[in-house]
Amino acid sequence: MAQQLRHMLRDDDVTHEEQKQILELGMKFRENRHYHMPFAGPQGVAVLFDKPSTRTRSSFSIGVAELGGYPLVVDKSGSQLGRGEPVEDTARVLTRMASAIVWRTFGQDRVETMAEYSTVPVVNALTDDFHPCQVLADFLTIAQHKGGVDALEGMTIAYVGDAANNMANSYLLAGAVAGMHVRVAGPYGFLPREDIVADAERIAATTGGSILVTTDVREAVAGADCIFTDTWVSMGEESEYAVRSKPFWPYQVNESLMALAKPDALFQHCLPAYRGKEVTAAVIDGPQSVVWDEAENRLHAQKALLTWLIGKQRDDESLLL
Ligand code: CP
Ligand code: NVA
């Protein structure tokens, strides 16, 4: 196999088999935090933030260190990128020093430009459109609780709430790649873009999965194996707070909504969560919630992803196992 420069910019940047490979690696990292150390040296990984973060910052910082590397964490306020230096020039500079670039930013076009000008793997650590690292962690959490990575295929997952946000888009694509039955429910005006739904449907047709986008929250959660939600007000939308709460109330994940899913269904939330809004305290702090495992799995899933990307770039099969 030849060396391949691969990026993770959106969830369908990997195939069904590749996603499974990354998740299996994630299970290995769950068992042994130093399973692989591809950045030993240490080599540097640039981790850039244009938006706030707790989980992504800590999991990439600690994760890169556990992989033997040095995490160079830079906030928007502390970089020339934040003062308007072109993404292309930033990519040209970082790519000469870092072994990988991880970036949380606004437009998806920005990570795409970074990848175009980079000679090292670029990882999307959340854009307005997608959050692929989060969904890898979420699927690892299902694997952890429901019998391994092979168990994902054919499962039914439901995401309810702001169905036009990055998490909804990522569940659609990643779930389709995994061969899951993905249901997404939100109010009119807050449903996913047609092109993303079309991409998910096209992928699901090849993996045995299926896609349902609906305004009917009960239809979405009925018999599901896992229920997901997210904040009703994403980063960058703070000025819309007043208009954003009202339409989402019927989509709140509470005990009566959970009761429509399978009795052993899991509850996940990427966090930060707003108790009493998108989820009640009884659910997120209740027995079906696995949100703390989910947060921990950011670490394992992202270490697996970085290791896999570096394994591809170095054509080192030993890193892919
Ligand atoms: N879920 C998530 O990405 O959390 P942070 O915004 O804290 O990184
Ligand atoms: N949809 C949320 C996810 C936070 C991890 C946001 O973009 O703010």
Residue 1 has pLDDT above 80, yes or no: no
Tell which atom from ligand 1 comes closest to the C-alpha of 104: 8
Which residue, judged by its Cα, is nearest atom 3 of ligand 2? Answer: 234
Tell which atom from ligand 2 comes closest to the C-alpha of 134: 5
Give CA–CA dist 308/300, Å, rounded.
Answer: 12
Cβ 56 under 6 angstroms from ligand 2: no
Q: In the annotation, is 181 catalytic?
A: no
User: Is 55 marked as a binding-site residue?
Assistant: yes
C-alpha 270 to ligand 2 mean position (Å)? 8
At 109-157, the pLDDT tens digits run 999 999 999 999 999 999 999 999 999 999 999 999 999 999 999 999 9
So what's the pLDDT on residue 243? Answer: 87
Tell which atom from ligand 1 comes closest to the C-alpha of 125: 3
Nearest to 83 by CA among 114, 57, 113, 50: 50
Residue 179 has pLDDT above 90, yes or no: yes
Give CA–CA dist 38/58, Å, rounded.
Answer: 19
Band of residue 168 on the pLDDT scale cut at 50, 70, 90: very high
Which two tokens mark 139?
Answer: 């699927």
Nearest to 241 by CA among 251, 231, 253: 231
C-alpha 282 to ligand 2 mean position (Å)? 22
**C-alpha 85, offset from chain centre:** 27
At 7-62, the pLDDT tens digits run 999 999 999 999 999 999 999 999 999 999 999 999 999 999 999 999 999 999 99
Q: In the annotation, is 34 catalytic?
A: no
Q: What is the mean pLDDT of the chain?
A: 97
So what's the pLDDT on residue 293? Answer: 98
Decide if 227 contacts 253 (C-beta within 8 A). yes
What is the average per-residue pLDDT within 276-288? 98
Mutate to test the pocket of ligand 2, among 51, 58, 126, 190 (most ligand atoms within 8 A of CB): 126
Band of residue 96 on the pLDDT scale cut at 50, 70, 90: very high
Cβ 134 under 6 angstroms from ligand 1: yes
Cβ 55 under 6 angstroms from ligand 1: yes
Which domains does the chain possess?
7-131+297-315 (3.40.50.1370), 135-290 (3.40.50.1370)
At 52-75, the pLDDT tens digits run 999 999 999 999 999 999 999 999
So what's the pLDDT on residue 245? Answer: 83
So what's the pLDDT on residue 104? Answer: 98
C-alpha 234 to ligand 2 mean position (Å)? 5
**C-alpha 74, offset from chain centre:** 21
Band of residue 242 on the pLDDT scale cut at 50, 70, 90: confident
At 191-202, the pLDDT tens digits run 999 999 999 999
Collapsing DSSP to helix, strand or coil, 54 comes out as coil
Catalytic residue among 104, 183, 244, 300: 104
Q: In the annotation, is 145 catalytic?
A: no
Band of residue 172 on the pLDDT scale cut at 50, 70, 90: very high
Half-sphere exposure of 314 (CA within 13 A, CB side): 15
User: Is 134 marked as a binding-site residue?
Assistant: yes
